[in-house]
Amino acid sequence: MEALLEGLPEPAWLVDGESLTVSVINRAALRLLGLKPERALGQQPATLCGSLEDEAFWQGAARDPFARIRSDTVLTHSDGQPRWVSRAISPIHTPEGDRYWLVMLHDQTRRRRAEAERETLLAELRATLESTADGILVVDLAGRVRSFNRRFAKLWGLPGGLQHEPGDAGLWLSLQRVMHDGEQYRMRIEALLDAPLMRSSDMLRLADGRVLEQVSLPQMSRGEPIGRVFSFRDLSEKLAAHQRIEELGRSDVLTGAPNRRALADRIIQQMAAGADGEPPPVFALLHLDLDRFKQINDTLGHSYGDRVLREVVERLQGAVGAHDTLARLGGDEFALLIDGAQMFEAEAAARRVQQLLAQPFSFDTLSFTVTASCGIALYPGDGGSPDELLASAERAMHWVKESGRAGFRFHVPRKEVDLLSRMRLDHAMRQALAEGRFRLHYQPQVELGSDRVIGAEALIRWRDPQRGDISPAEFIPLAEESGFVVAIGDWVLREAVDQAAHWLSRGLRMPVAVNVSALQFQQAHFVDSVASALRDAALPASMLELELTEGVLVGDADEGLKRMQALAALGVTLSIDDFGTGYSSLGYLKRFPIQRLKIDRSFVQGLPNDPSDVGIANAIVQMGRALGLQVIAEGVETEAQRDFLAQAGCHEFQGYLFAPALRPEEFEQRVRPRRHVVDAAVSGWLGLASAG
């Protein structure tokens, strides 16, 4: 009997008909229950599968030797977790007169949990659909309604609101009735339905004067079209505002000077003056940037900064003639278009600017000096379009900044200057690594809701003796282009791991996150380098997080998967940095052992007022939570952004709202008051680790 039971693929046991106790149980059943044989044999069957239905059955079985049952029930694993099963109990009578009951089970736990997860995900997706600012309509290939949200019904003013149900093809008639030209709209919809793969964007004018934007995309499943998704947005207020903006859009609100757009139009007019056989025009464009203007805002406040900008415009008016143009490009940047100017006249204008700005600025009891860096571009040699000419003048201005500020310089073609500058920067970068001039700062990563610091992102900093502070945005792209980013990345990895180990030795358990470039990740020895750094510093792997770019996911997927699995086997946390800016897909996220998603700062800046950023941030958070991933947002600078992310379900954040990237000692001083001293268990672990 035991051999027969062991041969069954499903969990099963025999209950003795006389004693009503378990007499035989197979290994599949023991695994399902999490028990050893001695814990199951001789037990009452209700102790193994103890629902009220089972208890009632065994009470009746004592009186009815032919009792049987088949239904779904729940049993409890030894770990305390429930297991959903289909259970069948049948009587067995042997020729010798022995009576048994055969209990056979089929484990339904995975299916039940998958159904529950699917229902939860569908509910979350529906909630996301309802939370978007756009009206959404989903139809099948025949145009029949499959789903839509309340915003859609409200935008179109559907009679009865949500009266149209799935399968209804008469919805289009309701939409035609409120259109300015319903017949034309009908033909447009028919054309879209006849072309399942077509993508479209249409402006719709309703009979009540409102204007809707309609975007239509094919709905795909397994590479085949299954329907069409329409999104609708009311552009009426936006168009009205745009019209008002157009009226005011050619002047700067703060200073009253022409703005960038007006300047571009003026440049185009100047360029066109040489048409119809006329001699080609000549003119100069000066690009001015006030030096260290941020210090004025930070020290005196933005109101004083605005007063400075207005007075700068008043002074610069003295440097332009009747046919010249002064424009504010934005922030503390200005441009002067000097009509008919060649090199000599342009230089004279730049010197007038320096003289006008050299006079002290006096507000109330304060007196201070403002200087400017000026770049000069000449037409037609430095650009054939407004954008090219502005870019040339701006590059020349940046060269002045790099050379010490408070001066002017003419644009020099890139081939003569930029390549030499890049060579110098590359050489300085390699020297900086060899001579130990790189430093790591650490930006706190904070748990939303508790403001508890749960980690630190390591960010590289470089201060050159001649150039001063050099932004990573300037030298990291060059390092990636030259391949030197691998050496820099290895240094960052070891430095961050050593810092985390140092903190741990001082009782501060602080996981560190390190950015990994795609080129560094692709190195054959990368996993070994990570393991070596952890081993040399005696740092637990769980305290290191590697932030990978989405580019890693779309390279050699199979090799990338092996490398990630090896890192995950070490115990290292893996996250996707700047999520949403690359090309990763849900398939990659499900396939790779990723634990965290980082929302890129570009989707955080507009929160909570930008509908596009709101929709994207909500979608990323909901997707991350559906996949069981931690979601962290970077670049959080305002309380409104933080509160929105918390309400959306984001887990963590980092940004200037809490703290910028800090030197290690500053980080420790900032974090320690917020963290508890490690407990005795951790201290004991540290003692064992050091002893080993």
Q: Mean pLDDT, to the nearest integer, of 639-655? A: 96
Which tens digits make up the pLDDT trace of 282-335?
999 999 999 988 888 888 888 889 999 999 999 999 888 888 999 999 899 999
In the predicted structure, residue 112 carries a pLDDT above the cut 50: yes
Query: What is the band of 159 on the pLDDT scale with cuts at 50, 70, 90?
Result: low
Averaged pLDDT score across all residues of the chain: 87
Q: Is 584 exposed, middle or buried (0-12, 13-18, 19+ CB in 10 A)?
A: buried
**pLDDT value for 675:** 47
Q: Mean pLDDT, to the nearest integer, of 577-583? A: 64
In the predicted structure, residue 487 carries a pLDDT above the cut 50: yes
CA distances from 490 to 44, 343, 562 (A): 62, 49, 20
**pLDDT value for 21:** 93
Query: What is the band of 673 on the pLDDT scale with cuts at 50, 70, 90?
Result: low
In the predicted structure, residue 370 carries a pLDDT above the cut 70: yes
Query: What is the band of 150 on the pLDDT scale with cuts at 50, 70, 90?
Result: confident
**pLDDT value for 378:** 94
Cβ-count burial 511-535 (b if 16+ within 10 Å, e if not): bbbbbbbbbbbeeeebbebbbebbe
Which tens digits make up the pLDDT trace of 502-512?
999 999 999 99
**pLDDT value for 614:** 94
Q: Mean pLDDT, to the nearest integer, of 480-508? A: 95
Residue 123 identity (one-letter amino acid): A
Range with the lowest mean pLDDT among 16-30, 291-305, 435-449?
Answer: 291-305
In the predicted structure, residue 560 carries a pLDDT above the cut 70: yes
In the predicted structure, residue 552 carries a pLDDT above the cut 80: no
Q: Mean pLDDT, to the nearest integer, of 80-100? A: 89
Q: Is the pTM of this model over 0.85?
A: no
In the predicted structure, residue 44 carries a pLDDT above the cut 80: yes
- Sheet of strand 224-234: strand arrangement: 145-148, 135-140, 224-234, 211-221, 200-205
Query: What is the band of 681 on the pLDDT scale with cuts at 50, 70, 90?
Result: very low
**pLDDT value for 598:** 93
